[in-house]
Structure 1
Amino acid sequence: MALNLSEAVRLLDERHLLREIIQGDLWSRDPSRFDDAEKPFAAITYNSRDVREGTLLCCKGRFKAEYLDGCDAQGLATYVAETPFGEHTAAPGIIVTDIRKAMSLLSAQFYGRPQERLTLIGITGTKGKTTTAYFTQAILNAASDGKAALFSSVANCLDGHTYRDSELTTPESMDALRMMREAADSGMEYLVMEVSSQAYKVDRVYGLTFDVGAFLNISPDHISPIEHPTFEDYLYCKRQIASNSRRLVLGADCEHADLIAEDAKDAGVPVTTFALHTSGRDEGTPADTVAWPADRDRTAFHIAVNGASGATGGTGADTFRLAMDGDFNYANAAAALTIASLAGADLTDAKVAHAMEGIRIEGRMERFEDSHGENVAIVDFAHNFASVSALIDFAQERYGSRHPRITLVSGSAGGKAVDRRQGIVEAAQHRADRIILTTDDPDRERPEDICQAMLSFVDDPHVEAGIVLDRAKAVETAIAEARAHDGFDVILVVGKGEEQWLKVDGGHAPYEGDTNVVTRMFA
């Protein structure tokens, strides 16, 4: 059914979101009392600058009444808001109790409920969401001849093969549903999407039920006055995926896994677990899917999905060698195989089960060797305590026998996740030999203030720490110091990957990109 005033009111009333409709002196809950109540809206937007003839405008966030000035002349049909703006428009206003929930419901209807034409997969967790999402999409693409779309923090893919940079980990509900419609119209059968804690906090996925949801892991992150005031709030928001999925994949070693499993049980959602065992198959937390090392150097892993069978069709697990280093990526691969299996992929097909082996994600665990010596640099998007700890774990496990000097080049984003500043330092300072603090998406904060705050958390006298604000110069400095050092060095450059911009004052300032700086210096 097309979206018009009458249908919008019906949908909102069903969810107890409707307060009333207001146009001048007419206040009513009955849409039939308003002109053109059955006329379909021609467009929907949350940006007043995009209003055209027949537009439904959702006034969300820090919407100012004066944004409506001139919208009548542009063709505004109706607005939806939590407060009336009759002094600035003659158009009827649908007044609601929660604009974000209302926007999600109305967008879904306007775009023809595209979520019902796709098998929806939602993946949440503190770390590993992007890698798991890419692995899952690769498997499902192989299973469906390229009919899997992707929403991720790195890129969005709506046709199975074209990737475009994304702005948010989880898009705004209206944008997400518009892209779902485009994906469905392009013949996509699956949509794999990362689901952030903010997606539930601000209702970006309100009204969506995932055919398969996944909860990978949890550790403190995004704790700040403008995001989550406490870890409990952060976890609570992420836990919503359990009751908004038809099946749940859960990391067996995830902190508070028992609580998440309780959420799923209360909602009648079956749970399938996965785990990484660092030695043998039977050593570690019991799980439905298990990954364990296939060789002494841990460059390949066995993964047994739901007990045993895989591409070989036998009773043993399949052996996987990924393009991306790190035990944690094999845990992500185990999660992806489990998700894909529950979504209907046939893992007995070799091309399906091994599809992720060639996956490379820009700026994720990319290893470079210096042509001027034996030093190694690893570029990764690690940006919090958990991910930096995992990266240093990998460096020590892989190179510990060579007694490396470890240098971390890192900053932290401005305007959000203030807790990361201490977390990154705490993860590194007792294990790295050198910390170089630099600029990383300061937005509206001064990068020197962010770096000074991070430097204040360094209290280990054995670590050398300093600030080099120019990010390219910081990476160059780390490499120059490594070359001057008489020994083997591992340089960890985290936070930006291949992104060729820095977020400054609400916009993008050009930047060479971490991988490009390392490549240039190592050439």
Structure 2
Amino acid sequence: MLLASLVEHLEYTTLQGDSNTNISSIAFDSREVVPNALFVAISGFTVDGHTFIERAIELGATAILVERDIVIDAPVTVLKVADTRYAMAHASARFYNNPTEKLNLIGITGTNGKTSTTYFIKSILEQSKRTVGVIGTIGAMVGNQSLKTKSTTPTTPESLHLQHMFADMVDTGVHDCVMEVSSHALSLQRTAASRFKSGIFTNLTPDHLELHNTMEEYFEAKAMLFDLTTDYNIVNMDDEYGRRLATKIASNPAKLVTYGIENDATIRAADIRQFADYTSYVVHTPTGSVAIQTNLPGIIYVYNSLAAIACAYCNGINLDQISAGIRAVKSIKGRLEVVYQDEERKIIVDFAHTEDSLEKALSTLRPFTKGRLILVFGVYAAPGKLGSGKRQAMGTIAGQYSDIAIVTSDNPKDQDPDAIIAEVSAAVQAAGGMHRGIVDRREAIQYAIDISERDDVILIAGKGHETSQVIGKTEIPFNEAEIVNDIMSGK
């Protein structure tokens, strides 16, 4: 494809060369450059792609996309744009023949609930015999088959990989794609060239403030999704930021559809009944009402299933298929997942990594815990004062809702795990809770099991589906379900 065709809808300046050069591939990682490639120089947080231009040319790049004036002493074409991330998104979409124009693309954003909402929607759509693609925190798949991807980016891949995945889905006959859309992805233009038919907002609580600095910036980043939609914007009206969003986007072309329990909404839940292993309710929609059972307990999964029901309503799915689709989801990896249970105890793994999600997980388990509720958790937050609020808030929740909190490491990366544990433990103590600090996460899990007694419930929170832990710059295998079962089998 000609370079000029890839960038025809972008504003750019030709610094040197011919924009009619032929392009065989696109790369933003110089190690993936092949002959006749377009190399996109991205200014990252720790690495500047402009410093790898020479290496990209050595590997065969014939065109370079930059975002600053630069002199390159080589016979290549150099185009300058204002934002190479934005330009890469649009060039990638063009390179793969604009695949999202051929998909019913559904985007889900919010702090918590994106993954479970994704899987509820997938299940409902499959009840109507559709082939569904999924892109999100747990991975990418078509139906039940994992989709191969080069992306190592959590939740939402870089735009180049994303457009490639969309194209693969189109080629395999996918009609619907349900995707988790992170605030990082929106801020960093990964979804800039994606055509969403529907956008869903779940909730907003403090998280990722190392990138956004304030809740206002975080909210504005999430709101970007709803300017990319064409058909429907689906919003949780029981969330403070959801109500703000509904007002903000009321005049957008996409139709506003709301859901909730407490406030007036298009899709509402009533007669909610909670049990240890499931929750039932009746959902009221403009086309009628139907009984719903979600096999994931707790109010949070009422909200997440309501979001999925609202999406199904927008897609014309009938109530019987909606009810069957929600009931068909037996479990979701790392979401209140029971990884071990016997007559003595129950051990649960959950992805709860914010104060809101931790509170909801603990408050869901509390009414059905006959013995003690033992919590194992760590806190990953921005270093220093920026992340201090999250560390203290999660410690407070742990102190209020658990009988004993074992504070350990999450992904400490380059931070001092002892300092993090000390700050969180102080908050647990200030909230009146019992606590123990253990840096090694496996030892912390072992300790929780050792002290557990009959009828106790152990919640291991923070990592959920993740199968590794990052300590310093090293990523080590760490699968909590396997660790628990190894301990319980005496390995």
Check whether TM > 0.5. Answer: yes
> 1:325 aligned to 2:297?
yes
CA shift in 2, pair 1:495/1:256, >3 Å: closer
> 1:236 aligned to 2:220?
yes
Tell me which of 157, 164, 175 is aligned to 1:189: 175
Q: What one-letter code is carried by the residue in structure 1 that aligns with 2:175?
A: E
Q: What one-letter code is carried by the residue in structure 1 that aligns with 2:299?
A: D
For structure 1, the residue ranges without an aligned partner over 5 or more in a row are 24-33, 277-283, 310-315
Map 1:471-482; keep pairs closer than 5 Å. Answer: 471-482=441-452
Match of 1:494 in 2: 461
User: Aligned partners of 2:25, 2:39: CA distance in 1, in Å?
Assistant: 8
Aligned-residue identity in percent: 26
Return the offset for 1:163. 2.8
Map 1:121-132; keep pairs closer than 5 Å. Answer: 121-132=106-117
SS at match of 1:156: strand
Return the offset for 1:88. 5.7
Match of 2:359 in 1: 389
Residues 71-110 of structure 1 show CA distances to partners (whole Å, capped at 9, x for unaligned) of 3332211111112443464312111111111111111111
Match of 2:37 in 1: 55
> 1:406 aligned to 2:406?
no
User: Aligned partners of 1:68, 1:294: CA distance in 2, in Å?
Assistant: 59
Map 1:216-231; keep pairs closer than 5 Å. Answer: 216-224=202-210, 227-231=211-215
Tell me which of 234, 259, 269 is aligned to 1:274: 259
User: Aligned partners of 1:424, 1:47: CA distance in 2, in Å?
Assistant: 37
User: Aligned partners of 2:332, 2:241: CA distance in 1, in Å?
Assistant: 29
Return the offset for 1:161. 1.8
Q: Is the 8 A contact 2:237 2:260 kept in 1?
A: yes
CA shift in 2, pair 1:72/1:319, >3 Å: closer
CA shift in 2, pair 1:220/1:113, >3 Å: same
Return the offset for 1:494. 0.6
For structure 2, the residue ranges without an aligned partner over 5 or more in a row are none
Q: Is the 8 A contact 1:374 1:488 kept in 2?
A: yes
User: Aligned partners of 1:456, 1:99: CA distance in 2, in Å?
Assistant: 44
Q: Is the 8 A contact 1:414 1:450 kept in 2?
A: no
Tell me which of 134, 142, 145 is aligned to 1:162: 145
User: Aligned partners of 1:124, 1:40: CA distance in 2, in Å?
Assistant: 37
User: Aligned partners of 2:180, 2:66: CA distance in 1, in Å?
Assistant: 28
Return the offset for 1:468. 1.2
Match of 2:268 in 1: 290
Instruction: State the TM-score, normalizing by the size of structure 2.
Output: 0.90
Q: Is the 8 A contact 2:410 2:463 kept in 1?
A: yes
User: Aligned partners of 1:503, 1:97: CA distance in 2, in Å?
Assistant: 34
Match of 2:401 in 1: 431
User: Aligned partners of 1:175, 1:506: CA distance in 2, in Å?
Assistant: 24
Return the offset for 1:7. 2.1
Instruction: State the TM-score, normalizing by the size of structure 1.
Output: 0.85
User: Aligned partners of 2:465, 2:3: CA distance in 1, in Å?
Assistant: 46
> 1:99 aligned to 2:77?
no
User: Aligned partners of 1:101, 1:461: CA distance in 2, in Å?
Assistant: 46
> 1:22 aligned to 2:15?
yes
Provide the alpha-carbon RMSD of the alignment.
2.4
CA shift in 2, pair 1:369/1:48, >3 Å: closer
User: Aligned partners of 2:203, 2:431: CA distance in 1, in Å?
Assistant: 32
CA shift in 2, pair 1:143/1:476, >3 Å: same
Return the offset for 1:217. 1.2
Match of 1:300 in 2: 279
User: Aligned partners of 1:265, 1:462: CA distance in 2, in Å?
Assistant: 44
User: Aligned partners of 2:395, 2:117: CA distance in 1, in Å?
Assistant: 26
Residues 337-376 of structure 1 show CA distances to partners (whole Å, capped at 9, x for unaligned) of 21122134x22454x54123232221111135643x4332
> 1:11 aligned to 2:9?
yes
Of 84-93 and 405-414, deviating more is 84-93
Match of 1:347 in 2: 318
User: Aligned partners of 1:349, 1:296: CA distance in 2, in Å?
Assistant: 22
> 1:175 aligned to 2:186?
no
CA shift in 2, pair 1:181/1:303, >3 Å: farther
Match of 1:362 in 2: 333
Q: What one-letter code is carried by the residue in structure 2 that aligns with 1:517?
A: I
Return the offset for 1:414. 6.0
Q: What one-letter code is carried by the residue in structure 1 that aligns with 2:309?
A: L
User: Aligned partners of 2:35, 2:64: CA distance in 1, in Å?
Assistant: 13
Q: Is the 8 A contact 1:411 1:440 kept in 2?
A: yes
Q: Is the 8 A contact 2:89 2:192 kept in 1?
A: yes
Q: Is the 8 A contact 2:275 2:297 kept in 1?
A: no
User: Aligned partners of 2:92, 2:283: CA distance in 1, in Å?
Assistant: 41
SS at match of 1:497: coil
CA shift in 2, pair 1:7/1:240, >3 Å: same
